[in-house]
């Protein structure tokens, strides 16, 4: 299985083995890193992958496989079409769909945040489509997804979770109104914090309170994200607006422009509610995670005083039943 393959790590990108559980045949050549740090072929394109092979890898502590950078677009097309098949298969349980979608989403989001080059942002956009389809069409799977949101403070995990909450809330809020392009909207939710990839990590992960200067640096992430998404031209202006406006507050005390309620795009207001909830319920260096009940109570009594109560009422429905 391991013919010597002289390939350098710079020509490869990593994919988490978690994200490959549901794939039966390798979409392209997949490599692994051996104990000497060399990249060797693990399975060739179209070779059998499947759960036993992935379980065996994970048993030996292998968390990542590697794909050639030149295969990035092809890999993401294959991933998207196989995820589409899984999401639309009526014989697959909702919990299995939710698990696969969440694992793939986390993996492509990690990559987009680590290396926000066009092909990797495009990969995230591709995978967001079946994820949005699952949330819009499958209530049971959405409940699993909401439960699967992990207690981890990495930015890409936060963004994946906000994406899931944002799409689920938009679906409830807009109901049958088909004038909202949920794929486009979902892309904005999932990538709302992409600008944080340009903020120094020591500030992002600082355990204590930020100084006023550091706070200003962090606040730049909204404009940075807006610019990155503009540079790549992959995403629509509406989705970019979510990135730019998700820290605006209805009472005008938000940033970057201190906009007042009706000037803030409704998509950005939905994103803000999902963002606040996720921040309260995630484990962070500076506070312990709250339960769903505690978080909703805090939001009702304090945080959401300046947010549209109509949107918030729909958000609460996500956790009922």
Alpha-carbon torsion (85, 103, 187, 74), positive or negative: negative
Q: How far is the CB of 246 from Fe ion (least distance, A)?
A: 6
From residue 96, alpha-carbon distances to 123, 147, 265 in Å are 22, 13, 35
Q: Which is nearer to Fe ion, 193 or 224 (CB)?
A: 193
Structure tokens at 236: 């629509």
Quick check: 278 binds Fe ion (CB under 5 A)?
A: no
Q: Which is nearer to Fe ion, 126 or 193 (CB)?
A: 193
Helix (H) or strand (E) holding 12: strand 12-16
Q: How far is the CB of 111 from Fe ion (least distance, A)?
A: 19
Q: Which is nearer to Fe ion, 276 or 318 (CB)?
A: 276
Listed ranges 95-103, 142-150, 190-198, 253-261: which one lies at the site for Fe ion (CB under 5 A):
190-198
Q: Which is nearer to Fe ion, 193 or 248 (CB)?
A: 193
Among the listed residues 12, 30, 190, the one whose alpha carbon sits nearest the alpha carbon of residue 108? 190
Angle at 305 between CA 256 and CA 184, to 5 degrees: 55
Which among 196, 259, 297, 300 is annotated as catalytic? 196
Q: How far is the CB of 15 from Fe ion (least distance, A)?
A: 26
CA distance 249 to 88: 38
Q: How far is the CB of 148 from Fe ion (least distance, A)?
A: 22
Backbone angles phi, psi at 217, to 5 degrees: -65, -45
Binders of Fe ion among residues 131 to 160 (CB under 5 A) are none
Torsion of CA 50, 91, 185, 260, to 10 degrees: -120
Q: How far is the CB of 275 from Fe ion (least distance, A)?
A: 6
Among the listed residues 135, 145, 155, 144, the one whose alpha carbon sits nearest the alpha carbon of residue 282? 155
Q: How many residues bind Fe ion (CB under 5 A)?
A: 1
Q: Which single residue is written with the structure tokens 């992935």? A: 54
Q: Which is nearer to Fe ion, 71 or 278 (CB)?
A: 278
Is there a catalytic annotation at residue 196?
yes
Q: What three-state secondary structure class fits 33?
A: strand
CA distance 120 to 112: 5
Q: Which is nearer to Fe ion, 193 or 250 (CB)?
A: 193
Quick check: 224 binds Fe ion (CB under 5 A)?
A: no
Listed ranges 40-48, 110-118, 129-137, 186-194: which one lies at the site for Fe ion (CB under 5 A):
186-194
CA distance 99 to 12: 26
CA distance 169 to 274: 8
- Return the residue nearest Fe ion (CB atom): 193
Q: How far is the CB of 193 from Fe ion (least distance, A)?
A: 5
Binders of Fe ion among residues 193 to 222 (CB under 5 A) are 193
What are the catalytic residues?
A: 196
Residues that bind Fe ion (CB under 5 A): 193
């Amino acid at each position: 299985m391991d013919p010597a393959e002289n390939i350098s790590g710079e020509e490869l990108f990593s994919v988490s083995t978690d994200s490959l559980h549901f794939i039966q045949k390798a979409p392209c050549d997949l490599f692994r890193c051996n104990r000497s740090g060399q990249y060797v072929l693990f399975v060739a394109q179209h070779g059998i992958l499947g759960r036993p092979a992935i379980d065996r890898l994970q048993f030996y502590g292998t968390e990542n496989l590697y794909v050639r950078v030149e295969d990035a677009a092809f890999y993401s097309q294959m991933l998207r079409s196989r995820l589409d098949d899984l999401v639309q298969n009526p014989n697959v349980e909702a919990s299995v769909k939710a698990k696969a979608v969440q694992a793939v989403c986390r993996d492509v989001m990690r990559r987009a945040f680590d290396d926000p080059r066009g092909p990797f942002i495009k990969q995230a956009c591709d995978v967001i489509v079946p994820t949005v389809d699952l949330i819009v069409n499958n209530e049971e799977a959405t409940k699993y997804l909401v439960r699967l949101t992990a207690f981890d403070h990495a930015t890409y995990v936060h963004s994946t979770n906000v994406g899931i909450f944002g799409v689920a809330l938009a679906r409830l809020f807009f109901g049958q109104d088909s004038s909202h392009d949920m794929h486009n909207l979902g892309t904005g939710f999932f990538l709302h914090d992409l600008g944080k990839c340009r903020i120094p990590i020591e500030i992002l992960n600082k355990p204590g309170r930020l100084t006023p200067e550091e706070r200003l640096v962090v606040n730049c992430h909204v404009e940075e994200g807006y610019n990155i998404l503009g540079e790549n031209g992959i995403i629509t202006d509406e989705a970019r607006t979510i990135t730019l406006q998700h820290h605006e507050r209805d009472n005008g005390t938000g940033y970057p422009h201190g906009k007042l309620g009706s000037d803030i795009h409704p998509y950005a207001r939905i994103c803000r509610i999902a963002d606040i909830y996720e921040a309260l319920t995630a484990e962070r260096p500076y506070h312990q995670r709250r339960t769903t009940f505690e978080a909703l109570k805090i939001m009702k009594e304090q945080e959401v005083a300046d947010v549209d109560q109509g949107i918030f009422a729909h958000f609460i429905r996500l956790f009922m039943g």
